[in-house]
Amino acid sequence: MTRYILRRILQALLVLLVMSFVIYSLIGLMPGDPLDIMLASNPGATPEVVEHLRKLYGLDQPLMLRYLRWLQDALVGQFGYSRTHSLPVLSVLVPALIQTCKLMIISFIASVILAFILGILAALKPGGILDGVISLFAFAGISVPVFWLALMMILVFAVKLHWFPASGIATVGDGGFRDQALHLVMPVITLALASTGGFTRYVRASMIEVLRMDHVRTARAKGAAEWRVVLVHAFRNALIPVVTIMALSFGVLFNGALLTETMFAQPGMGKMIYDAILGNDFNLALTGLLFATVVTLLSNLVADLAYGWLDPRIALT
């Protein structure tokens, strides 16, 4: 078991290394380079000065060499300075990461609970009316463009009804728990709805599959009541594939977070990366992307461990 986790962490680190190079090269392909911005504020710079700066920042070196130098610094926690914030990258990133995790975890838990309830109800009578209604809801969740949903919610609940604030994480001068919670309602609903749809479909499919199995018939043949057959015998089996997919999807939630944060002006990782890319803040964008990759890799690892923990047939070696 320990050996398995060790091996998986090693594999993940390897993936992370490769990805850091890929992302590093891609960032380098974005328009402009670090000097452009510096020069923009200092239009009088002569070509000699530019050349000197280029050397100073190592921009005349080949990509691989620049990457290795960056890696060397990154390995000791030096991710450089954020140009747009004029702060070390980590001090911009850490609060944003915390904010995003809060949003993602609340939405994730909400959508998991909702998906289990709806998915099981739908699976009890496939093709029934309840199944139809739930399927419609689930497909709507999968199919709705997240940014548009956010827009519509702002339009209805903030602009028209004034139920919830349209943006930010707290009102200036208030910032109490109730105020913060109110600011979270719409982002959480937006983010949760998309994944709830997908999760509900998985729970439903998995439950239908399991309810067809022989051992469910055995449970009935024992004289177990229907609720017991569904919630004890079928559910535990249906959980195995579903939990794996859910854990894997935690990383995918990041996509939604980027949009949700942008739409509701929440100072999280997603918005930070988006702004960094727009503002040519290379160091911040690069580090942000890497941290997002780490979150995905971690959720993959958790998915594997959960699989081994839930399914006694799987021996993680």
Partner 1 sequence: MSATTATAVPRTEAAIGPWRLRWRRFRRHRAGMASLVVLLLLALFCLAAIPMQHVLGMDPDATDLLARFDPPSAEHWLGTDEAGRDELIRLMVGGQMSLLVGLLATAVGGIFGLVVGVFAGYFGGRVDALLMRFTDGMIALPLLPLLIVLGAVDLTKLGFSSEFARSGAAGFWRIVIIIAIVDWTAIARLVRAATLSIKERDFVRAARASGAGPLYVMPTHILPNVATPIIVAFTLTVGRVILFESVLSFLGFGIVPPTPSWGNMLNNAQELVTTAPALAVYPGLLIFVTVIAVNFLGDGLQHAFDPRSER
Partner 2 sequence: MSAPLLEVRGLRVGFPRAGGLRHVVAGIDYALSPGRTLGVVGESGCGKSMTALALMGLVPPPGRAEGSIRFDGRELIGQSAAEWRALRGNRIAMVFQEPMTALNPVMPVGAQIAEVQVLHKHLGWKEAGENAVAMLEAVGINSPRERARAYPHQLSGGMRQRAMIAMALACEPALLVADEPTTALDVTIQAQILDLMLELQDRIGMAIQFISHNLAVVSEIAHEIIVMYAGRIVERAPADALFANPRHPYTQGLIATLPDPEQRVARLPVIPGGVPDLDAGARGCRFADRCALADAGCRAAEPPAEEIAPGHFAACFKAAA
Partner 3 sequence: MNELVALDGISVHFHLGGGGFLGGKPRILRAVENVSFAIGEGETLALVGESGSGKSTLGNVVAGLQPPTAGTLRFRGRTLDRATWPQARRSIQIVFQDPFGALDPRMPVSAIIAEPLRIQGIGTPAERRARTAALVEQVGLPVDALNRYPHEFSGGQRQRIAIARALAPDPALIVADEPLSALDVSIQSQVLNLMKELQERLGLSYLFISHDLAVVNHLVDRVAVLYLGRLVELAPRQLLFDRPSHPYTQALLHAVPRIGRKRARGQTIKGEMPSPLNPPPGCVFHPRCPKAQDVCRTTAPILEPAPGRAAHMSACHFKE
Binding residues for partner 2, rule: CB under 8 A, are 213-215, 217-226, 233, 236-237, 240, 310-313
Task: Name which of partner 3, partner 2, partner 1, none residue 220 binds, using a CB cut-off of 5 to 8 Å depending on partner kind.
Answer: partner 2
Site for partner 3 in 128-157 (CB under 8 A): none
Candidate residues 119, 165, 251, 268; the one interacting with partner 1 per rule CB under 8 A: 251
User: Judged by CB under 8 A, does residue 154 bind partner 1?
Assistant: yes
User: Judged by CB under 8 A, does residue 297 bind partner 1?
Assistant: yes
Candidate residues 6, 63, 152, 156; the one interacting with partner 3 per rule CB under 8 A: 6
Task: Name which of partner 3, partner 1, partner 2, none residue 155 binds, using a CB cut-off of 5 to 8 Å depending on partner kind.
Answer: partner 1
The strand ranges marked E within the chain are: 81-82, 87-88
Long-range contact set of residues 30-38: C-beta below 8 Å, sequence gap at least 24: 30/277, 30/280, 30/282, 31/280, 32/280, 33/59, 34/59, 34/83, 34/280, 34/282, 35/59, 36/280, 37/83, 37/280
Comparing CB distances to partner 1, the nearer of 62 and 223 is 62
User: Judged by CB under 8 A, does residue 243 bind partner 1?
Assistant: no
Long-range contact set of residues 101-105: C-beta below 8 Å, sequence gap at least 24: 102/184, 103/184, 103/187, 103/188, 103/191, 103/257, 103/260, 103/261, 103/266, 103/268, 104/191, 104/250, 104/253, 104/254, 104/257
Minimum gap (Å) between residue 8 Cβ and partner 3: 10
220 token code pair:
């009935």
User: Judged by CB under 8 A, does residue 293 bind partner 1?
Assistant: yes
User: Judged by CB under 8 A, does residue 31 bind partner 1?
Assistant: yes
From 46-54, 95-103, 154-162, 180-188, span contacting partner 1 (CB under 8 A): 154-162
Task: Name which of partner 3, partner 1, partner 2, none residue 311 binds, using a CB cut-off of 5 to 8 Å depending on partner kind.
Answer: partner 2
Cα–Cα distances in Å, from 71 out to 10, 79, 209, 272?
A: 17, 9, 47, 22
Task: Name which of partner 2, partner 3, partner 1, none residue 6 binds, using a CB cut-off of 5 to 8 Å depending on partner kind.
Answer: partner 3
> CA 273 from chain center: how many Å?
13
User: Judged by CB under 8 A, does residue 1 bind partner 3?
Assistant: no
Comparing CB distances to partner 1, the nearer of 5 and 49 is 5
Candidate residues 41, 42, 46, 317; the one interacting with partner 3 per rule CB under 8 A: 317
User: Judged by CB under 8 A, does residue 7 bind partner 3?
Assistant: yes
Give the angle 46-49-55 at the CA atoms, nearest 5°.
145
In angstroms, rounded to a whole number, what is the distance separating the alpha carbons of residues 203 and 245? 10
User: Judged by CB under 8 A, does residue 10 bind partner 3?
Assistant: yes
Give the relative orientation of helices 282-310 and 235-264 as an angle to the nearest 10 degrees. Answer: 170
